């Protein structure tokens, strides 16, 4: 039996991956209010609506933001 390829590892069209708040907190180490404060000052990616009362962040935008952060020595 042949296994299905993992769509996240595909080299085809980019698949949008969204992060909800709990994942975002874990990945960034920031707090909820800090994230929303940074969004308000345009220093963190803006969330996108994924439902009537739900928002999420594009993983690609969050990863780009993380890569742009200064490295502590």
List C-alpha distances in Å: 42 to 5, 6, 45, 51: 37, 34, 7, 23
Question: Per the confidence metrics, is the pTM higher than 0.85?
Answer: no
The total number of residues written for the chain in this structure: 73
Per the CB < 8 A criterion, the answer to whether 17 and 56 are in contact is no
Sign of torsion over alpha carbons 10, 65, 34, 72: positive
- Cβ atoms within 10 Å of 44's Cβ, excluding its own: 20
Q: pLDDT by residue (tens digit) across 60-69?
A: 999 999 999 9
Residue extents of the structural domains in the chain? 15-67
Q: pLDDT by residue (tens digit) across 6-59?
A: 555 555 566 789 999 999 999 999 999 999 999 999 999 999 999 999 999 999
């Amino acid at each position: 039996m042949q296994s299905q390829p993992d769509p996240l590892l595909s080299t085809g069209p980019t698949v949008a991956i969204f992060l909800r708040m709990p994942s975002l907190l874990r990945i960034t180490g920031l707090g909820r209010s800090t994230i929303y404060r940074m969004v308000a000052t345009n220093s963190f990616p803006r969330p996108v609506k994924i439902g009537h009362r739900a928002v999420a962040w594009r993983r690609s935008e969050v990863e780009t933001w993380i890569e742009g952060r200064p490295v502590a020595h």
